[in-house]
Amino acid sequence: MKTFVMLGCAALALAATPAMAQDGGDETDRAGDIQFKLLGTAVLPDGKITDINVNLPALPATLQTKANDNFMPTLAVEWFVTDNVSIETIAGTTQHDVDTTGGLPAGAELVSDALLLPATVTAKYHFDLGPKLGGVQPYVGGGVAYFIWLSDKPGAATLPLGVTDTDLSDEFGFALQAGFDVPLGDDGFGLTFDAKRYFIDTTARWYVGNTLAIETEHKLDPWVLSAGVAYRF
What's the pLDDT band for 23 if we cut at 50, 70, 90? Answer: very low
Most distant CA pair in the chain, distance: 67
For the four alpha carbons of 79, 41, 111 and 104, in that order, the dihedral sign comes to negative
CA 121 to chain centre: 10
- 166-175, 182-191, 198-207: the lowest-pLDDT one: 182-191
Q: What is the mean pLDDT of residues 10-16?
A: 42
Q: Is the pLDDT of residue 27 over 80?
A: no
* % of the chain with per-residue pLDDT over 90: 75
Confidence (pLDDT) at 132: 65
Of 181, 224, 196, the C-alpha closest to 30 is 181
* Residue 65 near residue 47 (C-beta atoms within 8 A): yes
Q: What is the mean pLDDT of residues 90-96?
A: 94
User: Regarding predicted confidence, which is higher, 61 or 131?
Assistant: 61
Domains of the chain: 2-232 (2.40.160.20)
* Residue 171 near residue 204 (C-beta atoms within 8 A): no
* Residue 166 near residue 206 (C-beta atoms within 8 A): yes
Q: What is the CA radius of gyration of the chain?
A: 21
Confidence (pLDDT) at 21: 38
What's the pLDDT band for 28 if we cut at 50, 70, 90? Answer: low
Q: Is the pLDDT of residue 33 over 60?
A: yes
Confidence (pLDDT) at 4: 39
Can you tell me the distance from the alpha carbon of 220 to that of 195, in angstroms, rounded to the nearest whole number?
Answer: 16
What's the pLDDT band for 30 if we cut at 50, 70, 90? Answer: confident
Confidence (pLDDT) at 90: 95
